[in-house]
Amino acid sequence: MAYIQVPEGIPGIRSLVMFRPETGKPLYELAQVLLRGDSTLSEAERELMAAYVSSRNDTMFCMMSHAAASRALFGNDKKIVDDVLKDIQHADISDKMKALLNIAGKVQILGKEVKPEDVESARNEGATYKEIHDTVLIAAAFSMFNRYVDGLASFTPTDEKEYEAMGKRMAEKGYVPPINKE
C-alpha cells in the first residue's frame, strides 16, 4: 500500500503523477528530454543508464521498466541489457559506454564520488563533454525518480510480462503523462 491516497492498482510513478498532475508534467517532460531528446547517445543506451542506476538504488519498478524499454530499443541486441546489469566489465558494450556507466554509478552514490580520473577515462574513450553532462544528469535524475517511487511506497507489479508491455510502450511512445479520468 502506498503511503498516500494514490489511485489503486496503478503502478509506480504513474500513480504518483495521477495524484499530483501539476508536478507530474515537468517530471515526464524531463524524462522525455533526457531519454528521447537529441543526443549522440542512443535511446537504448540512455534507457540502459536509467536501468543501471535504478538497479543500484534497488528500485524494482524503475529498474524493470527501463530495462524493458532498453531491451525493446536494442532489439536483436537486447542481451546487452541483462549483461550490463550483471557485470558491466564483461558486457559487450564500447569502452566509452563502460566509462560513462562507471560515472553514472559514482553519481548514484553521491556527486562527490565522481573523480577527475573517471571523467578523464571517459574523455580518453572519446566521450564528449555533452555526453558526460548527459550521463551525470540522467544518473542524478534517476536518483530522484527512484526516491520518489520508493519513498512513497508506490505499487510495484511483480509480473515480468507487465514490464515487457510497459517497456514496449515507452520505446514506441516515449514519456507521456497518464491522464486522470476523473
Partner 1 sequence: MPYIPLEEHLPGITGLLEYDKIAAKPIRELTQILLRGDSTLTEGERELIATVVSNGNQCRFCTAAHTAAADILLGENETSKNVKENIVTSPVSNKMKALLTIASMVRESGKAVTKEAIDKAKTEGASDIEIHDTVLIAALFCLYNRYVDGLSTVTPANPNFYKGLAERLRDHGYNRLSHGYDHLKTDKSTVA
Establish if 100 lies at the interface with partner 1 (CB under 8 A): no
Between 88 and 152, name the residue whose CB sits nearer to partner 1: 152
Residue 128 to residues 72, 121, 123, 133: CA-CA distances in angstroms?
Answer: 26, 12, 7, 9
**Residue written as cell 564483461?**
90
Find the binding residues for partner 1 in span 66-95 (CB under 8 A). none
Q: Please give the full DSSP string across 121-152, using - where no structure is assigned.
A: HHHHTT--HHHHHHHHHHHHHHHHHHHHHHHT
**Which residue of 119, 166, 170, 171 would you call a contact of partner 1, by CB under 8 A?**
119
Q: Which three cell numbers stand for residue 55?
A: 538497479
Contact yes or no for 35/135 (Cβ under 8 A): no
Identity of the residue, 144 or 165, whose beta carbon is nearer to partner 1 in the bound complex = 144
Of the chain, the end-to-end C-alpha distance in Å amounts to 21
Provide the CA 149 distance to its chain's centre, in angstroms: 12
Pairwise CA distance, residues 145 & 51, whole Å: 11
Nearer to partner 1, 69 or 103 (CB): 103
Which of 112, 161, 173, 181 touches partner 1 by CB under 8 A?
Answer: 112
Which region among 41-49, 92-100, 109-117, 158-166 touches partner 1 (by CB under 8 A)? 109-117
- Residue 55 CB, shortest distance to partner 1, in Å, is 13
Binding partner 1 by CB under 8 A: which of 68, 91, 150, 171? 150
- To partner 1, the closest distance from the beta carbon of 174 in angstroms equals 14
Residue selected from 27, 49, 91, 100 as contacting partner 1 according to rule CB under 8 A? 27
Residue 57: helix, strand or coil by DSSP? coil
Backbone angles phi, psi at 172, to 5 degrees: -85, -40
Q: Which residues bind partner 1 (CB under 8 A)?
A: 3-5, 16, 19-20, 22-23, 25-27, 29-30, 33-34, 37, 57-59, 103, 106-107, 110-112, 114, 116, 119, 129-130, 132-133, 136-137, 139-141, 143-153
